[in-house]
Structure 1
Amino acid sequence: MLWNLSDTHQSWSGGRHRGLRGRVEDGKSGGGLCYGYRIVKKLDERGEPIRGDREIDEAQAIVARRIFKEFASGISLRAIAKL
């Protein structure tokens, strides 16, 4: 029996994307940690970690807001990076 790896990959990746989409739609992180946020570590009623919760890191958020504000006002990313 020959396996079609292309079809198998499509099946796996499609399921992964559906899973990530569901997490994001539930207000959870789709993965990784974005600048300006920190991981919230909590346990459920069984003592299992609750994954995907994030909260704003105010110190980093100040920087992120400044970058967005400067970019929105027309300053290039290169110029912002040099500030």
Structure 2
Amino acid sequence: MVRTARRARADPGGAADLQCHQVVVRVEGRTLVDHVDLTVAAGHWCSIAGPNGAGKTTLVRALLGLVRHEGDVRVGGELLENLPRR
């Protein structure tokens, strides 16, 4: 389950800071994250909840670019793989 909420100062008309579309993570033939779509706007936060082994940490790792994934992850409108590493 994914929930999002807005901080009091959030600009609901602003562009999304984080978007993922059809994100899939497969490891050794097993699908660990299956076609996740998520948008978190500027000034908002997101909670990811689920049972052990549901893929929460794997999803976050995909959103950070730490694991190979299919689908698009965008930060500030830019594809994650096009952003400079720090």
TM-score class, shorter: under 0.3
Whichever of the two has the greater Rg, that structure is: 1
Name the one with the larger helix percent. Answer: 1
The structure showing larger relative contact order (alpha-carbon pairs under 8 Å, at least 6 residues apart) is: 2
Normalising by structure 2, what TM-score?
Answer: 0.23
Normalising by structure 1, what TM-score?
Answer: 0.23
